[in-house]
Amino acid sequence: MPPARAWRSYPQTYRLEAARCRSCGTVHFPPRLICRQCQSRDFETFRMQRTGKVVTHTIIRTPAAAFAGDAPFAVAIVEMDDGVRLTTQLVDLDFEELKVGLPVRLELRRAFSEGDAGVIHYAYKAIPVRS
C-alpha cells in the first residue's frame, strides 16, 4: 500500500473511527460520504468499541503468496459491540478454540512491511477474551 493511501486510513486503522448517520443511526465502517440506508450526508465520527464476537470463521491453509509464511491462520467475521462487522485475523488461540460466538477484542499488531526498510503496516487482529 502506498504511504499516502496508508496515511489516509490512519483514523480507521489506529483509532477505529466509524461514522454514525445523524438521520437514521446507521453505523458505517469505514466511514462513507452517503448513508446506505437513508442517503443522508450528515454523520458524526466516533470511536468503536474494541470488543465483539465471532460470527463465522475459516482457516486459511493455502494463502496468497504474500502471506505464505503465516499459514495456516484463522480469519473471522467479527461483529463488534457497536454492530459493525469486520473481517480480521484471529490470533493467540488454538484452532480447536474457534467457535461462533467466541468473545474477542481487537488489538493493533504488525501486519507486514514493504521490503527491509519500507513502511511498516499495522492492522487489527482479534484475540479471544478469556474469563
Query: Residue written as cell 475459516?
Result: 58
Whether 97 and 34 map to the same domain: the answer is no
Q: Tell how far CA 59 is from the center of its chain.
A: 17
Residue 32 — pLDDT band, cuts 50, 70, 90? Answer: confident
Which pLDDT score is estimated for 64? Answer: 87
Q: What is the pLDDT of residue 65?
A: 86
- Helix, strand, coil share of the chain (percent; to 5): 15, 45, 40
Count how many domains the chain has: 2
Residues 55 and 118 in one domain: yes
Residue 10's domain comprises: 1-48
User: Each residue of 112-129: pLDDT tens digit?
Assistant: 777 777 777 778 899 999
User: What pLDDT shows up at residue 30?
Assistant: 85
Q: Could you read off the pLDDT of 39-80 as tens digits, one per residue? A: 999 999 988 889 999 999 999 999 888 778 888 999 999 999
